[in-house]
Amino acid sequence: MHILLADKMHPQAIEAFKALPGARVSNRPELGAEDLPGHLQDVNVLVVRSTKVTRAALEAAPELGLVIRAGSGVNTIDVAAATERGVAVANCPGTNSAAVAEVAMGLLLSLDRRIPDNVHELRQGRWNKKEFGKAQGLKGRTVGLVGVGQIGREMIQRLRGFDVRIMAWSRSMTPEKAESLGIEYCPDLLELARHSDVVSIHVALTGDTRGLVGAEFLAAMKPGALLINTARAEVIDTEALLQAMDEKGLRAGLDVFPAEPTTGQAEYDHPLTRHPNCYGTHHIGASTDQAEYDTGLEAVRVARAFQAKEPIPNCVNPR
């Protein structure tokens, strides 16, 4: 079985892949989406993290039986094309939930205390306590969670220590579930926007969630409120967000951006990254040693099941 690792993986996960009986492992983390079609001729299992798997790549892979996304979402993989070709697609949900919640909290605290701007001013040789010695603080404020899956639940644990009021909306949320989590149930998405000082988004990108946070939602948010997105950029209407930042002082902490580069280093320019009300990180939510280790070993478990012709864990397109 030929396994191609087309993204950076934890060293112990690489060794675990190599330990699979009869496995031949090609470790090529430098490959981008445009490179994949030329490297898949005899590959049976393809493992990716952020590298996109296009229809062209799948059509260039006659021996491919499984694509594993070493992460939660599969929006970077053409699942429809894979299904047409009889290629299974699986992910590794939950293994990076704590890491994503950590970066979401980092963005939240950074926005509230303007930490990146503090750092920039000091590095420029300027002491500006007069400007930065102002912040609302988090205690007593209302945080609204959009989505209460595994990452949302990790957020709940971390937010409790800040003595905030936590509200949540999701399609599957009920008053009973909210009570069991020790949070407030919000049955209406716009109502959550109206009440929240901070909104943090934790939903997968699907046809239903694309553009979920649009002009109406952003208009309902409080002036100067904070919006955190560590899910997928397409969940938010970008143009509406830019307008809300301009017109009502909305501030955004984003780990995801439209049309992100498919490689680890690249030129990238977007109005969001230049906006003074936006703090951005480089889609690093899942990029901790702990998360990479756990996700890598879960990917190995998926590959092992495929090799043994057992039911494939976390398969998103079962036949």
Distance CA 90, CA 303 (A): 10
Tokens standing for 32?
């981008």
Mean pLDDT over 108-124 rounds to: 96
140 half-sphere exposure, CB direction, 13 A CA radius: 2
Nearest to 84 by CA among 55, 48, 41: 55
Q: What is the pLDDT of residues 134-151, one digit of tens each?
A: 899 999 999 999 999 999
**CATH of span 97-280:** 3.40.50.720
Tally of CB atoms within 10 A around 113: 17
Is residue 108 within 8 Å of 198, Cβ to Cβ?
yes
- Give the per-residue pLDDT at 13: 96
Is residue 202 within 8 Å of 152, Cβ to Cβ?
yes
Distance CA 28, CA 197 (A): 44
Q: What is the pLDDT of residues 7-42, one digit of tens each?
A: 999 999 999 999 999 999 999 999 989 999 999 999
The residue to which tokens 């330990």 are assigned = 19
Q: What is the pLDDT of residues 224-276, one digit of tens each?
A: 999 999 999 999 999 999 999 999 999 999 999 999 987 778 899 999 999 99
Helices (H), the chain: 11-18, 55-59, 79-84, 97-113, 115-123, 129-132, 150-160, 175-181, 189-195, 215-220, 238-248, 271-274, 289-307
Q: What is the pLDDT of residues 280-292, one digit of tens each?
A: 999 999 889 999 9
- Give the per-residue pLDDT at 141: 97
Phi, psi (5° rounding) for residue 17? -65, -45
For the question of residue 131 being annotated catalytic, the response is no
For the question of residue 120 being annotated catalytic, the response is no
- Give the per-residue pLDDT at 264: 79
- Of residues 232, 251, 292, 298, which has the active-site annotation? 232
Nearest to 316 by CA among 88, 95, 151: 88
Q: What is the pLDDT of residues 55-94, one digit of tens each?
A: 999 999 999 999 999 988 898 999 999 999 999 999 998 8
Distance CA 15, CA 10 (A): 9
Distance CA 199, CA 18 (A): 43
In one-letter notation, the amino acid at residue 289 is D
For the question of residue 283 being annotated catalytic, the response is yes
284 half-sphere exposure, CB direction, 13 A CA radius: 12
- Of residues 24, 141, 260, 270, which has the active-site annotation? 260
- Give the per-residue pLDDT at 240: 98
- Give the per-residue pLDDT at 247: 96
Domains 2-95+289-307 and 97-280 share a fold: yes
Starting at the earlier edge strand, list the strands of the sheet with 198-201. 184-185, 165-169, 142-146, 198-201, 226-229, 251-254, 278-280
- Give the per-residue pLDDT at 7: 92
Is residue 293 within 8 Å of 82, Cβ to Cβ?
no
- Of residues 154, 283, 292, 298, which has the active-site annotation? 283
Distance CA 117, CA 268 (A): 21
Three-class SS of residue 174? coil
Q: What is the pTM of this model?
A: 0.87
Domain coordinates of the chain in residue numbers?
Answer: 2-95+289-307, 97-280
**CATH of span 2-95+289-307:** 3.40.50.720
In one-letter notation, the amino acid at residue 150 is Q
Distance CA 92, CA 94 (A): 7
- Give the per-residue pLDDT at 276: 95
38 half-sphere exposure, CB direction, 13 A CA radius: 6
Is residue 300 within 8 Å of 9, Cβ to Cβ?
no
Per-residue pLDDT band for 167 (boundaries 50, 70, 90) equals: very high
